[in-house]
Structure 1
Amino acid sequence: IDELKIDRIFLHIDSELENKKTKWILEAIINIAKKSNIRVVVEGVESIEDDRFVRCLGANVGQGYYYSRPLSIDAFNDLIHKK
């Protein structure tokens, strides 16, 4: 395993208590992955709050509409070549 993707469902918990439990579990998973040199991607980042949360957890990468809508390979190549 070289990459672990965490599903977006973990970012959108309604209950404050469940949110605290989820944060603790995600931090533990991410710490284990990092100690094992496994890259961590969190899916479903849709807002600046989600982005901050993902960074706070220590994930390597966030993925979601906050950064970009889904792109075709051609549109992606155009985007990275413009930067």
Structure 2
Amino acid sequence: MNQPTAAQSAESLLREDAELAVVVANLADQLEVARERRKVVRAALEGVRLGQALAGEIAQAAQAQKAAETVDAE
């Protein structure tokens, strides 16, 4: 059975370390992209909430105006 030499083992470990460093760097990049995307999604959700609230207020104002016009017409 051939045992790797200490130099071969060290070389193999260095190669694996370099590969893992690339994986970690890629994951860090993906994490940053995901964080930025999450910020955009949260901002969009806030916009939707504000739009819904505004639409509700507009509907209430229109209903109040219509009721006032009905009272004025009587």
What's the TM-score, normalizing by structure 1?
A: 0.28
Give the TM-score normalised by structure 2: 0.31
Q: Whose strand proportion is higher, 1 or 2?
A: 1
**Greater percentage in helix:** 2
Q: Which has the larger radius of gyration?
A: 2
